[in-house]
Amino acid sequence: MTNGEHPGNDDWRQVPGDPNQPPTGGLPTNPYGSADAGNHSPGSPSNPPSGQFPSPPPGATGPLGQYPRPDQPNAPYYQQQPGGTAPLGQMPQATGSSSADVPPARSNGGRKLLIGAVAVALLAGGAGGAIGASVAGGSNKDGSSTSNVVASGPTNTAQPSAAPGSVQATAAQVLPSVVSITVEVGNQVGSGSGVILSDNGVILTNNHVISAGGGKPADKILVSFYDGSRAMAKVLGTDPTSDIAVIQADKTGLRPITIGSSANLSVGQEVIAVGSPLGLEGTVTTGIISSLNRPVSTSGADGSVESVMDAIQTDAAINPGNSGGALVNANGALIGINTAIATVNGGTEQQSGSIGLGFAIPVDQAMRIANALRSGGRVQQASLGVNVRPSSDVTQPGAQVVNVVGGGAADQAGIPKGAVITQVEDRKIASSDALVAAIRSYAPGDTVKITYVVNGQTKTVDVKLGAS
């Protein structure tokens, strides 16, 4: 037990499409993929972490992108050889001879596959170029050239200035505070994003970024900054339960990001995502907050539930590689850490990009964990002291208590076994995931109002949350 809010059975963690899957009221899929991500049936949603590397589509023949080497921070990016192909989520094997030491591909059994490269093709370049040349100039029959001016209107080569609060102004403010992270774990390489917390190199990111989806921190971590410089980094602390990690880069004079709040966000609010999707450093995308308090579960390598986020949902384009990057408001203040995306298909073989469903860890929760990790303290999660499962009564959605931990928060507040918890403060609870996410959004020692139904009666009690 990590926090005292466990389901009483495994039914609530079945994959979407299973007829036995109960309603959850949130996102019922695993945003990070599963221990056997490649075996999902077609059409089964899967939500991979947004911090990690794809390979090119089958048949790609051009260069597959380049990565900085964690063991050679001052060396040029190494490039994979043309012709390599691999399922998305895997590093393609290099073919032929190469002066670079390219790690082998990650196996399909990996839990959280980091993505960092993208194959880019220019469409209609040849035809467009030829047509452009024909229109731009010509020649007379005697061989002399002529110049025909097609545009006769005025020209204006100046660009509009960045208005305060505009995406342009916000991007200029935030970009220097977001980094790209490359990690090496054994013979595997992964990448993601991070956010600068202090001028002496303290950086906030996701745990699954610096572990490359594995069970331990990376052997080598290389941070690439907005000015083009790079520096090695060490891990200060990790918390797999919240998927938060803090690292220390060997660099000073950095620009820390402005910290905002996630307690007063609104659906429809404009937001900006900044990170390194598909290895493309310093990428800015925009959108809105499409939902708040979205329960999103993640699973460990053994298939067990590892983390349940009380996520900010956004339609700003978030793709693999954005994990650990910034979600900011129009003031340029950090409101969330981009962490996961939802995809239509279910396997790493055909991992897709953004479909308008991205998820970020709220900054209030992320910073509470990060501050504990920075100081070397023990990270604790708020605990209600119950085991729960989805309500068995379809007319009464909620989280049904299947066990009460003796002496725990619920026990002391008088919440009995069999009760269906329907509300935390003013937040409706429709599933066991929703309850776990709601409780974890608080700190140990906080007092919250819990509403539950037992024997047809609705009761509300004040509960002082414990710690796990």
Q: Which residues are catalytic?
A: 208, 243, 323
CA distance 93 to 56: 12
Short-list 375, 385, 458, CA closest to 421: 458
Short-list 384, 390, 449, CA closest to 410: 384
Q: Give yes or no for a contact between 32 and 298, defined as CB atoms under 8 angstroms apart.
A: yes
Q: Which residue has the tokens 């990376």?
A: 218
CA distance 399 to 422: 7
Short-list 256, 239, 139, CA closest to 197: 256
- Which run of H or E residues covers position 181? strand 178-185
CA distance 1 to 219: 29
Environment class of 193 (CB within 10 Å of its CB; exposed 0-12, middle 13-18, buried 19+): buried
CA distance 455 to 123: 65
Coil, strand, or helix at residue 308? strand
CA distance 128 to 59: 24
Q: Which residues pair with 427 in a beta bridge?
A: 424
Buried b / exposed e over 437-466, threshold 16 CB at 10 Å, is bbbbbbeeeeebebbbbeeeeeeeeebebb
Taken in order 416, 417, 420, 426, is the CA torsion positive or negative? positive
